[in-house]
A = this chain, B = another copy of it.
């Protein structure tokens, strides 16, 4: 291993690979240190605990792809109903892709959700803010944040990791489509789009 100065980013990258190889139940800080060719105390200089390291890695992993979701939410060139539907389908597709393509990191994320970690709460807060922006821009509702919360709750089956196994079912997209139709029937679009 090259003895370059150890920065937090290198620790995170190594931890991601270790998690991918061993899974969240078996990965240890010693594994991370070994992968970097340093002592575990060197790792602890950057992250005070294994839990803090796991949270930081999961946060970085979740953040990847969030910009493309935010771009859909902010795309005012598409009609509000199509944009809301497109965003909800993109969230499902992104979650499903992460679960399928990166199962060990996804398992680490699902554990943090089950433990009510701040990382999971921040992730939900980020998605809710994207949704609030979309709804405030496109729909005539008195309290866009409250409507965003209700839409997010009503689509729990399509984004909460407890339901990951259901996303393999062929009907999942038509199920989401039916929920979108029901929600959109009750949401008045603004301006030119109504």
Contact = CB atoms under 8 A, between A and B. Distances in A.
A194 to B, nearest CB: 15
Interface residues of A, number: 23
> What is the oligomeric copy number?
2
A127 to B, nearest CB: 15
A110 to B, nearest CB: 11
Contacts of A149: 175, 178
A108 interface: no
A150 B181 contact: yes
Contacts of A178: 146, 149-150, 153
16 contacts: A146-B178, A147-B182, A150-B178, A150-B181, A153-B179, A154-B154, A154-B182, A156-B156, A160-B163, A162-B162, A182-B183, A182-B186, A183-B183, A184-B186, A185-B185, A186-B187
Interface of A: 146-147, 149-151, 153-157, 160, 162-163, 175, 178-179, 181-187
